[in-house]
Structure 1
Amino acid sequence: MTRPKSSPNSLAWLWLIVGAAVLTQTSINLLRPVTSYKLLSMGFGETAIGLATAVYALLPLFMAMPFGRLTSKVGSLRGLMTAGGVLIGLGGAILALAGQAWLIMVGSAVLGVGHLMFTIAGQSMISRRSLAHQMDAAFGWFTAAFSVGQMTGPLLSGLLLGNVSLAVAQSSGAGLGQSITLALWIGAAAAVLSAPVLFVLRPLPDPTTSQLRQVPPAGAEKPTMLSIVRRPGVASNMLASLALLAILDILIAFLPLVGEAAGVSPLAVGVLLALRGAASVVSRIFLPMLVRRYRRSHLVLVSLFVSALAIAMVPFTLQLEGAFWAAGVLISLGGLTLGLGQPLSMTLISQAVPYAWRSPALALRLMTNRVGQVVLPVAAGVVAGPWGPGGGVWFACAMLAVSGTERLINHRTGPNDENRDADSN
């Protein structure tokens, strides 16, 4: 295969990363809701689904910082991104073959490690290759690819599982076992397809220079977890990122439960999750224009508060006869605002630390996200016990509101937010 030629200013590398991200995120966002349906078909409920969601983040919680330091030392990140995609495919295969709950937990853990590898390597490549004025757009396109996967994955899962609820399918004696297994294999295959896409990714025009820029000068402060968090605005942006990612995880795991309780089919749940992803794609495409007009801190606040309010209403509307369209409107509004927070938090954290700290800082951001992904789904599962499946979604929305309130109280916006025009020149 011939690799495309590129000049130092070419963005061919970005579009290849975006293409690979679409494949891996389509895989993950197909596999995870189908995993919930597989657990339901095996007789498990909210607690097991919350546990599977937490296990997905458990190993990455301990691997994020060491892996971030590794990415800051290697010259080419293509191999690490490729390995991440292959691991996601392996996790999907384990889920497809699993006949017991503990194997589903193993598959979820492998899936989480693959996602971590792909995401940290991709974020580090963007922070390493992008000029200052390109960074919002580059992170926006990268996370837009994630949103495309969050749109296509659930939609594919819904189409594969059909327009009949699991309870109805089981009462008829047919069940959804074969459809669930087929969907899991398709998800695994989509992730593996990212490998040939990344194979054509060229190295940096001058990798030696790039590596030297990643090495701090002698005597410089080292990027420890404490030194990174102490940088102005970093902790606040990490809390926002944690809350924003947690609601995506809880939605994809618990919305099938909410839908099943309301008699809504897997196809309808898939459509709702796809609408959320599609809306985030739209907001991320327009992110560079929004950043030129509005302060990043204000956009993050909008992301936190509006998405919390809109998504909290979705479980209520699904219970109402003929109000599915209202659930679609609300989750789309939530998706529009959710799409802003993640790329902006990446930019704010990247620009709040020295250049050589960017990979460890983004890795720490992912590690804190994984803390949330371990703790919050389990807590959501506990809340969903007395409050029903909707309680897990409301819990995640409350976390968004807490993060937004913290930003208002402490006025922590980060040092570069005031100079958004300066770093675009």
Structure 2
Amino acid sequence: MPTPSRPGRGWLLRLVIAFSFAQGAVSMARPAVSYRALSLGADERAIGVIAGAYALLPLFAAVPLGRRTDHGRCAPLLPLGVVLIAGGCALSGRAHSLTALAAWSGVMGLGHLCFVIGAQSLVARQSAPAEQDRNFGHFTIGASLGQLVGPIAAGYLVSERDGAMARTSALALLVSAGVAAVSFTALWRVEHRASTGSARPASRQKVPVGRILRTRGVPAGIFISLAVLSATDILTAYLPVLGEQRGIPPATVGLLLSLRAAATIACRLVMTPMLRLLGRTALLTTTCLLGGLLCAGIALPVPLRWLALMLTVMGFCLGVGQPLSMTTVVRAAPAAARSTALALRLTGNRLGQVATPASAGLVAGVAGGAAPFVMLGALLVGAAGLGVRSGRTTPEDPAPPVPVPRAGAERPHAKRNPA
């Protein structure tokens, strides 16, 4: 009986491949958007507004899309997301005003949201509880692979020699649209029919958003995810600005961003042994605290080699927050509203992506391009404190033997003992 409801691992591999190309396109496009904005005369404040516009449409669309996914299939959101990402990238490359650049950046962000909600819901729905940490970790490797390759490609294509930044940043955005389109090649048979069928009875109930947000563990997962993603996002948007101020060429900035992404991949490959060694609470708290201190340290005028080392260690630390916050939210949320809970987590992410770049733009305009990193360091330290607090009320990960008593064959036997 359990066999038809548990798909093999092929769907997860295809999903990781598709996500790698979709995230690679976005990670290539976002620094290219910053360079294109600079070529159009943008200052630090305008860069912050454009970076925030990427998350503005998703901020309002996340919960309705999550509700729709709770009520039906996840897979249709994936090709829709790819179309919007590719279109947003291509049209950003054709934009000749900061307003148009911000608008098409918002379309790109909406496409990324569609893809991520559909993909995360698939992982939650098609993974056994004991496999969720591992599968979410592997799924986010797709994001890290995209974040590894995308900035290198953008840095390679964008050149500021002879006033060519406007042309080369447009080229990088058009190439990123083509990279996004490659995702279509892996979007086949990623959704298992048995898992969608089993979700339909629960989908008749609409769990109020307020109840989901009051569920123990959900707010902590949302805030930790917001802090980690905001740090990654501002790093992507503002490291080019910092590089311009310190005379670091675009190709080197792309390499630095990719070092951060490579360390995140390494972190997620060893997630399971780290969880066994430290436990969920200690791992989340330690990595958020260290990541926050290193993020604030980027503001210091350190040599390039030390900056590269700091970004590498910071990338390793930031690799923990996203997959563990997904599992935390999925396990805490009511069964009938897991996609909506994941969408609320993404809403928190997008709220951070709107508010944090706008705040970073104001801070950078007053205190310089390094100041946003201090602000994000403080945000991550706050997330570490919340991780300690939530660890006192939220149970740790079950030990490996725990799923065995929950198996269907053991339940009748468990009921005989009291009798």
- TM-score, normalized by the shorter chain, greater than 0.5: yes
Aligned to 1:178: 167
Q: What is the CA distance between 1:402 and its match in structure 2?
A: 1.5
Aligned to 2:28: 30
**1:276-325 deviation per Cα after TM superposition (whole angstroms, max 9, x unaligned):** 10000010111122222221111111221111111222232xx34xx211
**1:324-352 deviation per Cα after TM superposition (whole angstroms, max 9, x unaligned):** 11111110000001001110000011111
SS at match of 2:200: helix
Q: Which AA in structure 2 matches 1:262?
A: R
Cα distance 1:418–1:114, how it changes in 2: closer, same or farther (>3 A)? Answer: closer
Question: Following the alignment from structure 2 to structure 1, what is the Cα–Cα distance between the partners of residues 193 and 62?
Answer: 28
Cα distance 1:335–1:360, how it changes in 2: closer, same or farther (>3 A)? Answer: same
Question: Following the alignment from structure 1 to structure 2, what is the Cα–Cα distance between the partners of residues 402 and 180?
Answer: 36
Q: What is the CA distance between 1:205 and its match in structure 2?
A: 4.0
Q: What is the CA distance between 1:231 and its match in structure 2?
A: 1.2
Question: Following the alignment from structure 2 to structure 1, what is the Cα–Cα distance between the partners of residues 399 and 377?
Answer: 29
Aligned to 1:212: 200
2:147 to 147, 150, 156: 150
**1:20-63 deviation per Cα after TM superposition (whole angstroms, max 9, x unaligned):** 00000100000000110111111111111100111111111111
Q: What is the CA distance between 1:208 and its match in structure 2?
A: 5.5
**1:55-92 deviation per Cα after TM superposition (whole angstroms, max 9, x unaligned):** 111111111111000011113x2221111011100000
Q: Where do residues 328-339 of structure 1 align in structure 2 (5 Å cutoff)? A: 328-339=308-319
Q: What is the CA distance between 1:354 and its match in structure 2?
A: 2.4
Q: What is the CA distance between 1:386 and its match in structure 2?
A: 2.0
When normalised by structure 2's length, the TM-score is: 0.91
**1:102-136 deviation per Cα after TM superposition (whole angstroms, max 9, x unaligned):** 11011111011001000000000000000011111
Question: Following the alignment from structure 2 to structure 1, what is the Cα–Cα distance between the partners of residues 393 and 71?
Answer: 26
Residue 291 of structure 1 pairs with residue 269 of structure 2: no
Q: CA RMSD, aligned part only?
A: 1.8
Question: Following the alignment from structure 2 to structure 1, what is the Cα–Cα distance between the partners of residues 233 and 213?
Answer: 24
Amino-acid identity (%):
34
SS at match of 1:315: coil
Cα distance 1:7–1:375, how it changes in 2: closer, same or farther (>3 A)? Answer: closer
Aligned to 1:350: 330
2:184 to 195, 202, 205: 195
Cα distance 1:144–1:174, how it changes in 2: closer, same or farther (>3 A)? Answer: same
Q: Which AA in structure 2 matches 1:295?
A: G
Q: What is the CA distance between 1:246 and its match in structure 2?
A: 0.6
Q: Where do residues 346-425 of structure 1 align in structure 2 (5 Å cutoff)? A: 346-408=326-388, 410-412=389-391, 415-417=394-396, 419-421=398-400, 424-425=403-404
Q: Does the CA-based 8 Å contact 1:86-1:195 persist in structure 2?
A: no
**1:224-265 deviation per Cα after TM superposition (whole angstroms, max 9, x unaligned):** 221111111211121111111111111110110001000000
SS at match of 1:376: helix
2:230 to 246, 252, 270: 246
Cα distance 1:414–1:142, how it changes in 2: closer, same or farther (>3 A)? Answer: farther
Aligned to 2:416: none
Aligned to 1:130: 127
Q: Which AA in structure 2 matches 1:179?
A: T
Q: Which AA in structure 2 matches 1:32?
A: R
Unmatched 5+ stretches in structure 2: 405-419
Q: Does the CA-based 8 Å contact 2:72-2:203 persist in structure 1?
A: no
Aligned to 1:62: 60
Unmatched 5+ stretches in structure 1: 1-5
**1:342-382 deviation per Cα after TM superposition (whole angstroms, max 9, x unaligned):** 10000011111222221011001001111111111100111
When normalised by structure 1's length, the TM-score is: 0.90
Question: Following the alignment from structure 1 to structure 2, what is the Cα–Cα distance between the partners of residues 145 and 252?
Answer: 17
